[in-house]
């Protein structure tokens, strides 16, 4: 199962980097979302997927699952949601002001002054 997850994580990272290197602001936002999902899966996979041990310690239980990866992923989900919401508001406002979502047109330094 870890091999399949490694390929899924690699595909998510590949797609995220491809989208983040584009000129469209919306594609960059989608790329950051994919990158965060890949990071979440990476943390979960490194924590271990298999096992039937309970996540909490109870009376008589000697083997238990590590709850730290789930706590880290939950925190990362909240942070990535906030960052994505901020990026979407920023993209909406920049589109309102500049009427474009192309990063190279937003710079404004490519035109020659005549």
Closest CA to 91 of 29, 34, 17, 23: 29
Residue among 40, 7, 36, 6 nearest 19 (CA): 36
Cα–Cα distance measured from residue 11 to residue 7, given in angstroms and rounded to the nearest whole number: 6
CA 63 to mean position of chain CA atoms: 32
Per-residue pLDDT of the chain (114 residues; tens, 9 = 90+): 889 999 999 999 999 999 999 999 999 999 999 999 999 999 989 887 766 776 666 777 777 777 788 889 999 999 999 999 999 999 999 999 988 888 888 887 655 554
Q: Which domains does the chain have, with CATH numbers?
A: 2-49+68-104 (1.10.287)
Neighbours of 89 (CB within 10 A): 10
φ/ψ bin of 31: left (φ > 0), alpha (ψ from -120 to 50), beta (otherwise): alpha
């Amino acid at each position: 199962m870890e091999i399949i997850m490694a390929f899924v994580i690699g595909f998510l990272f590949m797609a995220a980097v491809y989208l983040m290197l584009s000129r469209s602001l919306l594609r960059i936002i989608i790329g950051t979302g994919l990158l965060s999902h890949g990071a979440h899966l990476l943390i979960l996979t490194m924590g271990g997927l298999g096992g039937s041990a309970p996540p909490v310690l109870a009376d008589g239980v000697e083997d238990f699952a590590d709850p730290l990866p789930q706590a880290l992923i939950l925190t990362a989900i909240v942070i990535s949601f906030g960052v994505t919401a901020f990026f979407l508001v920023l993209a909406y406002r920049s589109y309102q002001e500049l009427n474009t979502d192309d990063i190279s047109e937003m710079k404004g330094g490519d035109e020659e002054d005549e």
